[in-house]
Structure 1
Amino acid sequence: MKANITLNDLILVSPMIALFLVSLVPITLKVLRGNREQNPLTTLIQGLIGLVIAAVLLGIFSGSAGATAFNHSLVFDGITQWMGIIALGAAAGSMVLMYENPAMKGSQFSEIVFLTLSSALGMLILVSSADLLMIFIGLETMSLSLYLMIGMSHEEKLAKEAALKYFILGGFASAIFLYGTAFIFGSTGSTNLIDFFESAKSLVVTSRLFLFGITFVIVGFCFKVSIVPFHAWTPDVYQGAPTPLTSFMATAVKTVSFAAFLRIIATRSLEGSQNLFDVLQWLAVITMLVGNTAAILQNNLKRMVAYSSIAHSGYILVGLITAGVSEVGSFGASGVIFYLISYAFMTLGAFAIISMMENSENTIVNVDDLAGLAHKRPVLALCFTIFLLSLAGIPPTVGFFGKFYLFNAAIGEGLLWLAVWGMLSSVIGVYYYLRPIVVMYMKDGDAEVAGHSLNATTVTVLVSAICIILLGLVSGPIFTAVEKSLM
């Protein structure tokens, strides 16, 4: 069937076109200058302008109506709008950290900004995809840029190891996803989610081929979002990658991966297979427990937050399962989106603090290194405390309300045991989130931020902390707005 490209298609994908065009600006100027790097601040501003333009266009042309482009391969609905803007905002914050982090600034900053915008382009494709092949294209566009950026770090050992591990296991996950896609195409004759949206529930029962396919696709995403037992790459890659890229992966990459995962779960396939439904529930519980338990044992701050992110993937999976079995899926999906909004601010802020304490590309920040920070830098210590308390789910921070909406949706669908396990896991998590706070305020030490300029990173930290408090205070209207956009 011949698909004609219309003006409306081009208007809808204008955020992606804008990102692509702006991404070319820094490297083109570098070439025209005889391969000499322009002022890094100018390069940063160019990148931020591209992200802002894309976010504005996405907000204008996406919405609850759910317009589609390119023969229904892309859909621009509430999920696209919210998840895309979260990812672009997280990318902007991470890019600010890249500008001042010793592992990333230097003679290749134009290439870093180009790859960041290219990765963000893949994220927008992924978040709006309604076709399994488009999801694959989005995943690879996003991931290939990340592999390169991690490998380009000035750190000479851990970053190279992290890039290789991420590349190999990322490729393995993509292969599993494609294998599942082939099964689904063989059983339905289509890779478009809209085509088999209504029939997926019955196909899982009647077609063993479709069941295998949807299972492999789900396993592929479990790798991408660090669901146990497919999580082993996460702590090593998060630790080895430059801290701004770790922030980028933990916020933007996780957001868009869950967006695509949500679209697949929304086909209601879980309702047709009790076994698949049960396995996903157990994976959610095990992920929450393993992530929080392993984080207790860590002294390296980045590894601790990495295991914490695994636990948070378990919480979000509870919301996905709820959306997958709910007659009115918007409540479960709204909980997922709201949680990802809160998680982006919390995690970006936490990694920004870690980035500020790195004097060189080889610096390793441990929990004990925070001793004395409250005395020397009281504002930064307060901000870090807010991030940690929000990650732990302590009111009145937005992290508490994020968990509240997720678990409330689960209870509403009769998944009480999942909500109970989620709350118990959160209690376990409180221990290791409080540990850095105790070290900052109760122990004497020489904690100090790096000597180089950190003005932009400081602004990022302050904005994140303020947003966490404000979003917690107005969580009700925001959640209502998210829910309305999905109806």
Structure 2
Amino acid sequence: MNITVGLTDVLLASPLIVLFLFSLIPLTIKTLRGNSEQNPAATIVIALIGLGLTAGLLLVFGGSDKTAFNNQLLFDGLTQWSSLLAIIASAGALVMMYENPATRGKQFSELIFLALNSVLGMIILVAAVNLITVFIGLELMSLSLYLMIAMSHEQKISKEAAMKYFVLGSFASAIFLYGVSFVFGSSGSVNITDFMQSAATLVKTNKLFLFGIVFVILGFCFKVSIAPFHAWAPDVYQGAPTPVTSFMATAVKAVSFAAFLRVIATQTLVGSQNLFDVMQWLAVITMTVGNVAAIMQNNFKRMLAYSSVAHSGYLLVGLITSGISQNSAYSASSVMFYLFAYSIMTLGAFAVVSLIERSENAVVNTDDLAGFAKNQPALAMCLTIFMLSLAGIPPALGFFGKFYLFSAAVNEGLLWLALWGVLNSVISVYYYLRPIVVMYMKDGEADVADHSLHATTVTVYVCAFIIILVGLFSGPLFDLVEKSLG
């Protein structure tokens, strides 16, 4: 296959090029300084400028519905929104990396290089319509992430987390690639746009194609921690440095679901009732397992990890709805809106954890929050907003995210799935209220760490402000997303 590269291709790919070039700047400066680390503030400013320029270019070229490099990358509304969400979440995580004791140090330039290249992989992942290119984006994102976790200054748990994630992630990638080989062998193409019109028929008539699609779906289920492929998430979330955990829980989850959505939108679920039924039960099991397990956790990061599993179950409901809907714009928009809401809530919650951690070996349990409301009333209020929003209490953003997600399911006749979602939301209220009760009702000495944490504090306030503001005016934003995905 001959791929000709023209000016249009370069312009469309300019966000990727700019981001990669900016990722090289901190490493180049460090090399020129004789392997001496420059001021971390300068490194983080360079990274944020790079992310800002990438976001600006995505706004200009992202929603054009044009393809680049012989239909390898598609720059449509889904690419634009999910990439911008990944950039926003990544910017918040980078700010936390600058101030967290587990990530700020001698190898900060290398860490920022890996983080920016992970974001580069994310944008490739969501823009790719060729399953091989999807794999390349997935691996660039994941390999950078394995190294970021292992680079923590904490010496034991983070190394264990990196190894678990690497081994299980490699296994999931192999399953994904195995599925892609069957898709190619049975359909003659690995381009999603090529078999989009015929996928439902192929699933019904060609068992090899069905086998391949199932394995591709299984690969994604691991990446987005769908039960029973979620076992890595609690250990990795707990063991990774808190800023990296927030990076994984927000940006990585958002783009993985966006890429998953692109595959599911081929209407493969319409062609196989068995696959459709299995996906529904996976959503129910994931919601229930995540919420029930979260109730039993005292470690705050581990609780948020199981919470993340439960939210993956909610989002899978939206994906299933998109996979059978004739008007997939509404369903896809509900998924993207929920990803935005979840990312902001989770980023804020992890930012509060990062503020409390005093060293790279610090462990924050729910009981350790006693007295936080007395010592830090503003931050305690912000954490309360995050918890209530994650639980889906109105008028916070999380409530409207669930409302759009479950109403889309009801519109497609998936009433029982929506009821399971509502039931699980009620269950989740228990463990989301527990930190609030501890902060306000128990005496203790919980406070932020002694070192300067101004940027992370600003991140917390900004996230809380967005949750309330967008929650109150969610309609116009949802309409805007739906229009761009239509």
TM range (shorter): over 0.9
What is the CA-CA distance between 1:287 and the residue it aligns to?
Answer: 0.3
* In structure 1, C-alpha distance between the alignment counterparts of 2:375 and 2:65, rounded to whole Å: 51
- Correspondence 1:276 to 2:275: yes
* In structure 2, C-alpha distance between the alignment counterparts of 1:267 and 1:72, rounded to whole Å: 16
* In structure 2, C-alpha distance between the alignment counterparts of 1:196 and 1:9, rounded to whole Å: 23
Q: For 1:32-431, what aligned pairs fall within 5 Å after superposition?
A: 32-63=32-63, 65-431=64-430
- SS of the counterpart of 2:196? coil
Query: TM-score, normalized by length of structure 2?
Result: 1.00
Query: TM-score, normalized by length of structure 1?
Result: 0.99
What is the CA-CA distance between 1:157 and the residue it aligns to?
Answer: 0.5
* In structure 2, C-alpha distance between the alignment counterparts of 1:367 and 1:2, rounded to whole Å: 57
- SS of the counterpart of 1:85? helix
The amino acid of 2:394's aligned partner reads P
What is the CA-CA distance between 1:147 and the residue it aligns to?
Answer: 0.5
* In structure 2, C-alpha distance between the alignment counterparts of 1:186 and 1:375, rounded to whole Å: 63
* In structure 1, C-alpha distance between the alignment counterparts of 2:228 and 2:365, rounded to whole Å: 26
What is the CA-CA distance between 1:2 and the residue it aligns to?
Answer: 1.3
- SS of the counterpart of 2:74? strand
* In structure 1, C-alpha distance between the alignment counterparts of 2:189 and 2:126, rounded to whole Å: 20
- SS of the counterpart of 1:75? strand
| Percent identity of equivalent pairs | 68
The amino acid of 1:18's aligned partner reads V
What is the CA-CA distance between 1:148 and the residue it aligns to?
Answer: 0.6
What is the CA-CA distance between 1:23 and the residue it aligns to?
Answer: 0.3
* In structure 2, C-alpha distance between the alignment counterparts of 1:262 and 1:287, rounded to whole Å: 17
What is residue 475 of structure 2 aligned with on the other side? Answer: 476
What is residue 13 of structure 2 aligned with on the other side? Answer: 13
Structure 1 stretches of 4+ with a deviation exceeding 3 A read none
The amino acid of 2:476's aligned partner reads P
What is the CA-CA distance between 1:151 and the residue it aligns to?
Answer: 0.6
* In structure 1, C-alpha distance between the alignment counterparts of 2:17 and 2:341, rounded to whole Å: 28
- SS of the counterpart of 1:68? strand
- SS of the counterpart of 1:141? helix
* In structure 2, C-alpha distance between the alignment counterparts of 1:332 and 1:347, rounded to whole Å: 22
- SS of the counterpart of 1:194? helix
- SS of the counterpart of 1:195? helix
Q: Give unpaired runs (5+ residues) of structure 1.
A: none
What is the CA-CA distance between 1:62 and the residue it aligns to?
Answer: 1.4
* In structure 2, C-alpha distance between the alignment counterparts of 1:129 and 1:328, rounded to whole Å: 22
The amino acid of 1:4's aligned partner reads T
What is the CA-CA distance between 1:91 and the residue it aligns to?
Answer: 0.5
Q: Give unpaired runs (5+ residues) of structure 2.
A: none
Deviations 1:381-403 (A, max 9, x none): 00000000000000000000000
* In structure 1, C-alpha distance between the alignment counterparts of 2:58 and 2:125, rounded to whole Å: 14
* In structure 2, C-alpha distance between the alignment counterparts of 1:53 and 1:348, rounded to whole Å: 22
* In structure 2, C-alpha distance between the alignment counterparts of 1:242 and 1:349, rounded to whole Å: 15
- SS of the counterpart of 2:82? helix
* In structure 1, C-alpha distance between the alignment counterparts of 2:164 and 2:76, rounded to whole Å: 35
* In structure 2, C-alpha distance between the alignment counterparts of 1:181 and 1:419, rounded to whole Å: 31
What is the CA-CA distance between 1:443 and the residue it aligns to?
Answer: 0.3
The amino acid of 1:270's aligned partner reads L
- SS of the counterpart of 1:386? helix
The amino acid of 1:196's aligned partner reads F
What is the CA-CA distance between 1:417 and the residue it aligns to?
Answer: 0.2
* In structure 1, C-alpha distance between the alignment counterparts of 2:313 and 2:415, rounded to whole Å: 15
Deviations 1:158-195 (A, max 9, x none): 00000000000000110000000000000011110011
* In structure 2, C-alpha distance between the alignment counterparts of 1:124 and 1:18, rounded to whole Å: 12
- SS of the counterpart of 2:195? coil
What is the CA-CA distance between 1:66 and the residue it aligns to?
Answer: 1.1
* In structure 1, C-alpha distance between the alignment counterparts of 2:32 and 2:364, rounded to whole Å: 39
- SS of the counterpart of 2:278? helix
* In structure 2, C-alpha distance between the alignment counterparts of 1:204 and 1:128, rounded to whole Å: 24
What is the CA-CA distance between 1:102 and the residue it aligns to?
Answer: 0.3
What is residue 465 of structure 1 aligned with on the other side? Answer: 464
What is the CA-CA distance between 1:459 and the residue it aligns to?
Answer: 0.3
